[in-house]
Structure 1
Amino acid sequence: MNQEERMYVVGNQKIKVERELTGQWILDIGGGGEGIIGLCYGNRVISIDPRIDELEEAPEEPLKIVMDAKELSFLDNTFDSVTSFFTLMYIDNNYHEKVFKEIYRVLKDNGEFVLWDAMIPEYDGGIKDIFVIQLEIETPIRLIKTGYGISRKDKVQDIEYFIDIGESIGFNVIKEEVRDKVFKIIFKK
């Protein structure tokens, strides 16, 4: 069996990323690769990613730091906004609460945490054990077509899953959007 036969593909999900974040400093969790947030907000962004190769691919303007979201090396109340653009799907579900606690800690009072991610259904044990989502991302700069993939085993998530974690940490949900198989949540500290 080849890898393509193993793929559970969610195709052509359209997302629009606008310049809506206010304040001076934005922490982008998992800001490597296409670096969508860095592309949109430039030198206001500090992009972190545990993989140096992902940061090397990202846009040039943001400050890029190799760092794990489970252990943020920033002072409390540092950032006006924190973003996660299809990053939490790559982090083991057992660590999501720890990541949310760290985000809450480094976010200023009344700061916003904006989370974009995918609905990942429960794995049924069949041959389709790789989850792939294809995205068409409209930014103020340009249209980006990309895709992300992970193992489906032990990986289930939806908007309610993340809302529950956020509220348990102390965040308030101020906006939630679902569009087909992707979602966006804006949390406020």
Structure 2
Amino acid sequence: MNQDERMYIIENQKVTIEREINGDKILDIGGGGEGVIGLCYGKNVVAIDPRKDELEEAPDGPLKIVMDARELSFLENSFDAVTSFFTLMYISKKEHEKVFNEIYNVLKKDGEFVLWDTIIPKYDGDGKDIFVIQLEIITPAKLLKTGYGVSRKDTEQDIEYFVKLGQKIGFNVIKREKQDQIFKIVFKK
């Protein structure tokens, strides 16, 4: 089976990023690559990514730091907001709770954690073991077309999975939106 035959593809998902994140200090988890949040909020953003090459690829504007979300090296209550734009799909599910705890610790009281991600169906052994999502991202700065891919094995997730995880950590869910195969959740500390 070639790589194309192994892909489970979700096509043409549209995401609109508006100027909706409040605060002067925004931490963007996984802010490398297209650096969508950094592109929209510029110098207000601290973009972290464990991969230096991904941060080098991201647009200028935010402060870029090589760092793993499982071990945030910031003081508690440092950020007004934290974002994760299609990043948690790349972090092992067994590490999600640790990441949520780290986010909770660095957020200020009443700070918001805004999470965008996708529904990844359970892998049923059908041979399509690579999950790919194609996105059209509409930002105030420009239109981006991109795709993200991960293994489907042990990566099943949906909006309820993240809602329950956030509540377990102590977040309140103040907004949840689902559109086709993608979703956005706004948590408040």
Shorter-chain TM-score bucket reads: over 0.9
Structure 1 Cα separation of the partners of residues 84 and 31 of structure 2: 8
Give the Å deviation of 1:21. 1.0
Give the Å deviation of 1:23. 1.2
Q: Deviations over 1:12-41 (max 9, x none)?
A: 000100111111100000000000000000
Question: Within 5 Å, which residues of 2 pair with 1:15-26?
Answer: 15-26=15-26
Residue equivalent to 2:43? 43
Question: Within 5 Å, which residues of 2 pair with 1:82-161?
Answer: 82-161=82-161
- In structure 1, runs of 5+ residues without a counterpart are none
Residue equivalent to 1:178? 178
Q: Deviations over 1:43-95 (max 9, x none)?
A: 10000000001000001110000000000000000000000000000000000
Give the Å deviation of 1:116. 0.1
Give the Å deviation of 1:176. 0.1
- In structure 2, runs of 5+ residues without a counterpart are none
Residue equivalent to 2:31? 31
User: SS in structure 2 opposite 1:113?
Assistant: strand
Letter in 2 for 1:100: F
Pairing 1:78–2:78 present:
yes
Give the Å deviation of 1:113. 0.1
Letter in 1 for 2:13: Q
User: SS in structure 2 opposite 1:9?
Assistant: strand
Letter in 2 for 1:99: V
Structure 2 Cα separation of the partners of residues 103 and 155 of structure 1: 21
Letter in 2 for 1:125: G
The count of residues paired between Structure 1 and Structure 2 equals 189
Cα root mean square deviation, aligned? 0.4
Give the Å deviation of 1:155. 0.8
> TM-score of the superposition, structure 1-length normalised?
0.99
Residue equivalent to 2:166? 166
Letter in 2 for 1:74: F
Q: Percent of pairs identical after alignment?
A: 71
